[in-house]
Structure 1
C-alpha cells in the first residue's frame, strides 16, 4: 500500500498565495535484480535471462538515441535524448550575454545532458489499478529557516562577487531552501530594483548574474 501526504506550496507571482496538493511517499528504490527475482516466479525465464535481456534492451535504446532517434516501447513509454551546454561553455555564454554579445554554441560545447521519459498511458493505468492509498504520518521536508530573506540575499550577492553565475542548486546549497522555494526567491531578487542580481537565459538554462545597481 502506498502512502500520501498533503504538501503546501506557495504560488509564484500570487502575493504569497498557497495551495495544498497530495504527494506520494517513496519508501525506497528497487533494482533490476529485485524485479528479475519477482518476474521469475510468474514466468519460465530465469533471473539471469531477465537481467541479460534488460541490459541488451538498454544498450539498444542507448544506441538508437545516440544516432538521433527517440525510442518508443509500447506499454512503457518514450525515451528522448536531451542536449545541454558543458559547464565551461555555460560560463562563456553567461559572460558574453552579460556583455550584450551573442553566444553561439558549437559541437564541442554541447553534450548529452539528460534523457527525457514520457510514460505510456498503459503504464499509468496499470500503476493506478494497483495503487491503494492511505494517509501517511510522515511529513515532507521543508526549506530551512535558519536565514532571513535579507541574509539569503546577502549570501547570493557575496557569491556573485566571487563567481560569474549563480544557479538555483547553488542557492539551495547556500541557503538551505528547497529547489522550488529557491527558484521563486531568486526570481524575485532578479525583479527587485537595487538587489544587485539579474538573470540571463531561459528555462533550464536560466542562471543569475551580478547586476550593477
Structure 2
C-alpha cells in the first residue's frame, strides 16, 4: 500500500489562498536487479536473462535516439532526446553577425519521457492509497536567501566541493528546494559558485577567478 500527503504549493491561487495538492510518498528506490528477481518468480526467464534483455533494449533505444528518432515502446511510453549546450558555452544571440554554435558546442543533455496512457492506467489499477499520518516536511525559514548564500560561500572556502545534502544540512532546506537554490546560485557569476560534473555526479565548487591580462 502506498501513502500520500497533501503538500502546499509554493504559489497561491488567484484569490491569494494556499493550494494543497496530493503527493505520493516514496520510501525506496528499486533497481533492475530487484525487478528482475520479481519477474523471475512469475516466468521461466532467469534474472540474468531479464537484466541482459533490458540492457540490450536500453542500448538500442539510445542508438535510435542518437540517429534522430524518438522511440515508442507500446505500453510504456515515448522516449525523445533533448539537446543543450555544453558547460561553459554561451547561447546564440540570434542576431545578424552574432555568435553561432557549432555541433561541438551542443550535446544530448536529457531524455524526455512521456508515459503511455496504458502504463499510467495499469499503475493506477494496482495502486491502493492511504493518507500518511506524518505531516509533510517544510524547508526551514531560519535563514534568508542572502544568509544561505553566505553559508555556502563560507563552506566552499573550507571544502573543495559541496553537494546538495551538504547545503540541506547547512541551511535546513528540503532537498528539492536546496537543489533549485544551489542551481540558481551557480548561474549567477557574482556568487562565486559554479558546478562540476553532471546528473547525480554534479558538484558545486568555488568559481575560479578570471585573470585580467
Which residue does 2:134 correspond to in 1? 138
Which residue does 2:27 correspond to in 1? 27
CA distance in 1, matches of 2:27, 2:44: 30
Preserved contact between residue 147 and residue 175 of structure 1 (Cα < 8 Å)? yes
Q: How many equivalent residue pairs?
A: 171
Q: CA deviation at 1:141?
A: 3.2
The SS at the match of 1:38 is helix
- For structure 2, list consecutive stretches of 5 or more residues without a partner in the other structure: 154-163, 191-213
Alignment pair present for 1:2 and 2:15:
no
Which residue does 2:104 correspond to in 1? 108
Alignment pair present for 1:83 and 2:79:
no
Alignment pair present for 1:127 and 2:123:
yes
CA distance in 1, matches of 2:146, 2:58: 48
Preserved contact between residue 12 and residue 18 of structure 2 (Cα < 8 Å)? no
Describe the shift of the 1:64–1:6 C-alpha distance in structure 2 as closer, same or farther (beyond 3 A): same
CA distance in 2, matches of 1:141, 1:86: 35
Describe the shift of the 1:124–1:44 C-alpha distance in structure 2 as closer, same or farther (beyond 3 A): same
Describe the shift of the 1:104–1:35 C-alpha distance in structure 2 as closer, same or farther (beyond 3 A): same
Alignment pair present for 1:60 and 2:60:
yes
Pairing 1:8-47 to 2, within 5 Å after superposition = 8-11=8-11, 17-47=17-47
Q: What is the TM-score normalised by the length of structure 2? A: 0.66
CA distance in 1, matches of 2:178, 2:52: 43
Q: CA deviation at 1:85?
A: 1.1
Name the structure, 1 or 2, with higher relative contact order (CA <8 Å, separation 6+): 1
CA distance in 2, matches of 1:16, 1:103: 44
Preserved contact between residue 83 and residue 107 of structure 2 (Cα < 8 Å)? yes
Preserved contact between residue 11 and residue 17 of structure 1 (Cα < 8 Å)? no
Q: CA deviation at 1:124?
A: 0.4
Describe the shift of the 1:149–1:112 C-alpha distance in structure 2 as closer, same or farther (beyond 3 A): closer
CA distance in 2, matches of 1:16, 1:109: 44
Preserved contact between residue 10 and residue 17 of structure 1 (Cα < 8 Å)? no
Describe the shift of the 1:104–1:208 C-alpha distance in structure 2 as closer, same or farther (beyond 3 A): farther
